[in-house]
Structure 1
C-alpha cells in the first residue's frame, strides 16, 4: 500500500464527529460485559471482608482488561476512518474478542482463564498488527507497532497466569495489567525511539467525547438491567418496591449530575485544547473511575432490592455508599478537567456519604440506599441552584486550553 493509500485510513476533517452505527454495534457487547462484571461482584459479597476484598481485586483486574480493550478501540476509531473496511474488520474483531471475554468473565479466575486471556491477547496483538500492515509506508505506522510490542510483552504474564496454578493467578495478572497500563501511560516507549506520548496526538475531539458519554450511558443501562431483573425475580413487597423506586431515582440522579454543564462540554474542551491528546487521555482515566462507581452502585441496588430487611451488613456499604462516593470523586475530577475548578457541593456530598456510613449500619439496607440518594439529590439541587439565571460556562481546561491552538485530527 502506498503512502497516499495508507493515509486514507486516517480520519479526515469532513468525517462526522458522531459515533458510527458500527461503533454503537460494538458497544452492545459492553452492555452484556458490564452486567457480568457486576454479577461477579454480587456473587462475592456473601463471605468475609477478606473474601470480598479478594473478589473485588479479581473483578477489578478483569474489568481493567475489558476497559483497555474498549478504550483503545475508541482511540482507533477516533484516529482512523471507521468507514474503511480494514478499520471495520478491526472493530468487529475487537467486538468478538470482547464478547468471548464477557462470556468467560464469571469464571475467568477458574476454568475459563485461558479463554479470557486468549480472547484478550488476540485483540491486543492482532489489532495493531493489522493496522500497522495497512499503514505500510506511512509515518503513523510506528504507533500501532509500539502497541504491538507492548502487547507481546504483556502477553507473557497473562499466559503464565492462565497456565499456572490458580492461587498465583491474581498476582501474575495484576502484573500483566500493570504492564499494559504502564505502556499506555508512558506512550509505549521503545528502545532508541522513546515514547509516543498521547499529549502530542491530535484526535477527533467531539467523536472521543461522544464515545465517553456513550460508555457512561451504557453503564447506566447496566444499572437499569440490574434493577429490573432483580425486582422482577423477587416477591413484590412494600420494602422491595421502595428499594426499586429509590434505585431508579438514584440512577436518574447519576445521569443528572454527570451531564450538568461539564458533561456537555467535553467535546468543546477537546476541540479548543492545545493538547487534545493529553485531555483525552485524562478523560479516559476519569471515565474509568466514573463507570466503576456506577457499576459498584448497581451491585448495591441488587443487594438492597433482594434483601431489604434487617440491619445493613457493613461490607454492603462498599457498594451502597462506596459506589456513589466513587462517582462523586470522579465527577469532581471531571469538572476540574473541563473548568479548572471543583464545586463545593460534590466535595461536600462525598464527605457526607463517608461520615454517615457508620450510621447506615444501624438500620435496614433500604435506609442506606435512601440516604445515598438524598445526598446525590442535594448535589443535583445545588448544581441547579448555582446555575439558575447564569449564562452557560465555557470550557477552560487547565490541560492545555487555548482558543486557537490544537486541532481535531491526526497530525501527519
Structure 2
C-alpha cells in the first residue's frame, strides 16, 4: 500500500526554523505561483493589445494591475517561509488567495478600459482578507510575534477598506492620486508591523528559491505569449486571388500572414535569445547572499523584484506586439515597439545590476548592466525594421551573457581571495 499524505485539520501555527535543512518550495507554493501567473498573463495580454494599438496609457494600467498581483504574491511568499504549517485550514486559506487572484484576472480588461473594476477590487479583497485570517492564526499561536501579527492583520484590513471605498471615486487624476497613496500605505504595513513587534522569521534559501521559481514561471508566460502570437499569424487564412488570376493569393503577395516569413524567423530567433538571456542574467549568481546581508538589503531585494517581474512580463507583451508589427496588424510603428521591448529589458538589467553591486559593495559590478541598457535603448532609437531590431536586441543580450561567462570569471580569478563565494561573480 502506498503511503498516504494525511495532514491534520488544524495544527499550531508556530514559526518555522529559519535554518531548517533542505527547505524547498512545497507543491502548494508551486501551484500558488502557477495560478498567479494567470493574472500576470491577463495583464500582459492587455498591455500587448494596447501597445499594438498605440494606446500607450495601457502601460500605466499594466503597472497598477501588476502591483496588486505582485503585492499579494510577495506577502504570501514571505508569510509561508515563516509560518507554513500545512494543515487543512492553511491550505484552504491559500486556495482562497488563489481564487482571489483568478477573480482579479477576470476583471483586468475592465480596469484597463475604465480605470476601475469591481471584480479586481473584489479579487484583491479576497486575497488580502485571507492573509488577515492567516495573521490572526499567528497572533493566536505565536505569542512572541503576537504584536507583529496583529499589526499586520489590522493594517491590511484598514488599507483594504480604503481600497473598497476608492470604488466610489471617479476621475483619472483622483484615481491615480489615491492609488499612489494606497500603495504607500500597503508598503508601510510590513515595515510598521516588523518594527513594532519584531521581525518574523524566514528561511533565506527558501525565499531565494521562491523568487527564482517565480521568475522562471513568468519567463514561461513570455514564451507562451510569443508562441501564441506566432501561431495566430500562421493560422491566418490567405484570401484573395493571385496576381496571375489563377488560384489563391500567395503569402508573399498578401504581405504577411499564412506562412512563416523571413521576418518572423528573425523575430523568433531574437525573441529566443532575449528570453534565454533573461534567464541566464538572473541566475548568473546566487541571490541568497543578497537576502543574508542585513534587513535593509532584504527589504530592498524583496521590493525591487516588482520591477524584475513586471519587466519580464512586459517583455512578453513587447514581443507579441512586435509580431503584430511584422504582420502589419499594429498601428504602432517599429521604433515605438522596439522601445516597448528595450525599456523593460533595461529596467530588468539595471535592477539586477544594482542589487548585485550593493551585495558586492562594488559599483563596478553594475557596469555590464549599464552597458547593456545603453545598447538596447540605442538599438530601439535607430528605428530599424522590427525583425532586425528584435534580433539585434537579442544579440546584445547574448553578448551580455558572454561577457559574464568569459570575463567576470576571469576578474574573479584574478581578484585576491577575500572569502567571497564564487557564485557572486558578475
Distance 1:145 1:356, change over 3 A: same
User: Does 2:390 correspond to 1:372?
Assistant: no
Map of 1:247 onto structure 2: 271
- 1-side partners of 2:373 and 2:318: how far apart? 17
Distance 1:91 1:385, change over 3 A: same
Higher CA-based Rg: 2
- 1-side partners of 2:102 and 2:171: how far apart? 23
1:25-64 correspondence runs (5 A): 25-46=31-52, 51-52=55-56, 54-64=57-67
Given the alignment, which residue of 351, 369, 373 partners 2:374? 351
User: Does 2:135 correspond to 1:131?
Assistant: yes
Greater relative CO (CA pairs within 8 A, separation 6+):
1
| Residues 82 and 88 in structure 1, CA contact (< 8 A), matched pair in contact too | no
| Residues 273 and 397 in structure 2, CA contact (< 8 A), matched pair in contact too | no
Distance 1:141 1:15, change over 3 A: farther
User: Does 2:173 correspond to 1:173?
Assistant: no
Give SS of 1:366's match.
helix
- 1-side partners of 2:360 and 2:346: how far apart? 21
Distance 1:286 1:156, change over 3 A: same
- 1-side partners of 2:279 and 2:65: how far apart? 25
- 2-side partners of 1:117 and 1:182: how far apart? 20
1:1-400 correspondence runs (5 A): 8-12=13-17, 13-14=19-20, 16-46=22-52, 51-52=55-56, 54-110=57-113, 113-136=117-140, 138-165=143-170, 167=172, 168-184=174-190, 186-188=191-193, 195=196, 200-234=199-233, 235=258, 236-260=260-284, 262=285, 265-270=286-291, 273=292, 275=294, 277-308=295-326, 312-341=333-362, 342-359=365-382, 361=383, 363-388=384-409, 393-394=420-421
- 2-side partners of 1:29 and 1:161: how far apart? 27
- 2-side partners of 1:59 and 1:157: how far apart? 21
- 2-side partners of 1:113 and 1:56: how far apart? 17
> Which structure 1 residue ranges, 5 or more long, are not aligned?
398-412
The CA deviation at 1:142 is 2.0
- 2-side partners of 1:196 and 1:136: how far apart? 14
The CA deviation at 1:166 is 5.9
Distance 1:249 1:357, change over 3 A: closer
The CA deviation at 1:14 is 4.1
- 2-side partners of 1:155 and 1:30: how far apart? 20
Q: Deviations over 1:302-357 (max 9, x none)?
A: 11122226894443233221121111111202312432332422221112223343
Give SS of 1:135's match.
helix
> Which structure 2 residue ranges, 5 or more long, are not aligned?
1-9, 234-257, 414-418
| Residues 268 and 395 in structure 1, CA contact (< 8 A), matched pair in contact too | no
- 1-side partners of 2:327 and 2:387: how far apart? 8
The root-mean-square deviation of aligned C-alpha atoms, in Å, is 2.8
TM-score (norm. length: structure 2)? 0.79
Distance 1:16 1:141, change over 3 A: farther
- 2-side partners of 1:325 and 1:291: how far apart? 13
| Residues 44 and 314 in structure 2, CA contact (< 8 A), matched pair in contact too | yes
Q: Deviations over 1:190-232 (max 9, x none)?
A: xxxx6457xx444111100010001110111111111110111
| Residues 107 and 113 in structure 1, CA contact (< 8 A), matched pair in contact too | yes
Bigger mean CA offset, 16-25 vs 119-128: 119-128
TM-score (norm. length: structure 1)? 0.82
Distance 1:383 1:86, change over 3 A: same
